[in-house]
Chains A and B, each alone.
Chain A
């Protein structure tokens, strides 16, 4: 394209038809530009839409921020409705953190096994198997949770079976592949020299893993965990089926609770657009979106650290 500025117009016109690769170049550029512009427009529209809807609860309906974020009483259909979303915010964070706590050690161990201990077996069998897990639709996880995990907890641990614990277990299985594949990629991309140097100093395999490999890939492992948490935070269907959806802050892991996503999916279809009940759900969607931004931000920061 630089040429087009330097060559006079006449010369360019004489060169018509353009060489084939030039035309292809242009078509490719225009096509990708349109796609990128479309993508940006979609993102901006979504952010604008969710924000405008979510802010309406406070701006139009006059619900106070304090009530929404700190109130524990959620009763939108009552004659004097109350919109305390704290139980859902805590519920979302509880299942997310619990799921990450359960899944991270498992995932990182699996990744270590695949890359450090038996790489050939790991690459050929374990990795595709774990990637397969991420392709299973969430409703299937929810149904398995409802049919297997909930009755198991009810019979062997006590309580209703349904609740935060069941939700965290289902989510932890769902985020296993995310954390495992990110961790496995990071481990595999580690320079050979590091390990060999460690072995040369007489370190055992365990010492190498524990003292050299893990600290080096720690930022990448954290990225994987945050990615998994982002997925867990946004997951709706599977959690909704097993968590019980009671709008209260639970006192035990086996008690029914709600997450932001489960309340939104339960209420969205039943409330009329523009009503205060509906707007309150959009405010929760806004909270979810902002949290996603926070997760992305954390990942970016971790990646920057990773590069250093």
Chain B
């Protein structure tokens, strides 16, 4: 009997493990939507749990707002969890029902299949503008769209060809799957560019900033919130990369930060999304953290990049 015990236990565990794997679609979702059901009370008080997963660019904002949201006595019974993982992860998890909210830097249509993307409802909560940055040794303050294309496609390899000093250009790019890169390629360059041999790719804004600041002749792009005195933005076609120019539509390199839900959100999730759009958040946390308020935008843009006033 003693010999058979481990085998028996093994079989049992395997059955359990396999059973757990099989029922994945049903029960796994860690962010089960408790919603507002239950609580035989009058129903004015919201309760439930909300799980928001995805974009690391949006994470600090959602994190901070969620803390304030939960501290608000009106929403005391709602617990909000915020996780990173990237836009792709966020969209996948919300599409599969594992998270209530999928945070993304890009439109769902750009990452998911059309029919999956159709099920998702887009809630735009902020705007992020991306500025071109270059190392001091480059010696340029303005680049035209064509000059940027020449640089990022490798046609121009020295800063002196675009009006700078005699200094080799080092491209600090984002990985090809990055949402920031997609935005930059779409709106600053107007085309996709391939990774050049010898270019550098980093996914963390902090590392990009460090490399561009320190590497002679480096060029890269960063969200406005990362700029300070050590690293200044370069004008794009003569336009400064700043909040006013983004809001008025003069500076084109920006993207929405999306919080997707699958279908219409349940009450607890909706409360959080509405809270994100209140003036208090939009003029407070959003601006403090270096994003651009969605309410200040004078132009709108759809998934194809068409701009309407």
Which residues from chain A sit less than 8 Å from chain B, CB to CB? 1, 4-5, 29-30, 33-34, 36-38, 40-41, 44-45, 74-79, 146-147, 151, 154, 160-162, 241, 244-248, 250-251, 255-256, 258, 263, 266-275, 277-278
Contact = CB atoms under 8 A, between A and B. Distances in A.
A269 B85 contact: yes
22 contacts: A4-B1, A37-B10, A37-B13, A40-B10, A41-B17, A44-B14, A45-B21, A146-B207, A160-B200, A241-B202, A244-B200, A245-B200, A248-B195, A251-B197, A256-B201, A266-B201, A269-B85, A269-B88, A270-B178, A270-B179, A271-B88, A274-B92
Contact of B177 (A5, A250, A270): A270
B5 interface: yes
Contact of A266 (B89, B192, B194, B203): B203
A271 B21 CA distance: 23
Nearest to A49: B21
Interface stretch (B34-42, B210-218, B282-290): B210-218
B6 interface: yes
Contacts of B86: 268-271
A162 B188 CA distance: 26
Contacts of A30: 5, 9
B298 interface: no
B133 to A, nearest CB: 17
Contact of B2 (A1, A75, A79, A245): A1
B17 A45 contact: yes
B77 to A, nearest CB: 31
Interface string B49-63: 000000010000000
A36 B6 contact: yes
B68 to A, nearest CB: 26
A77 B89 CA distance: 16
A269 B214 CA distance: 27
B191 to A, nearest CB: 11
Interface string B169-188: 01000011111001000000
Contact of A41 (B14, B175, B211, B215): B14
B13 A241 contact: no
Contacts of A263: 175
Contacts of B202: 241, 245
A244 B10 CA distance: 45
B202 to A, nearest CB: 7
B282 to A, nearest CB: 27
B207 A269 contact: no
A305 to B, nearest CB: 32
A36 B84 CA distance: 33
B152 to A, nearest CB: 13
B87 interface: yes
B308 to A, nearest CB: 27
A78 B10 contact: no
B197 A255 contact: yes
Nearest to B87: A270
Contact of A151 (B17, B88, B96, B214): B214
Given A29-B5, A78-B194, A271-B86, 13 more contacts: A37-B13, A146-B210, A245-B201, A246-B198, A246-B200, A256-B198, A263-B175, A266-B175, A271-B111, A272-B91, A272-B92, A275-B88, A275-B111
A33 B92 contact: no
Contacts of B198: 160, 246, 248, 255-256
A272 B88 contact: yes
Given A151-B214, A270-B179, A33 B87 contact: no
Given A146-B207, A270-B175, A160 B170 contact: yes
Given A75-B176, A78-B194, A246-B200, A273 B207 contact: no
A277 B89 CA distance: 13
B196 interface: yes
A273 B89 contact: yes
B215 A154 contact: yes
Nearest to A36: B6
B296 to A, nearest CB: 28
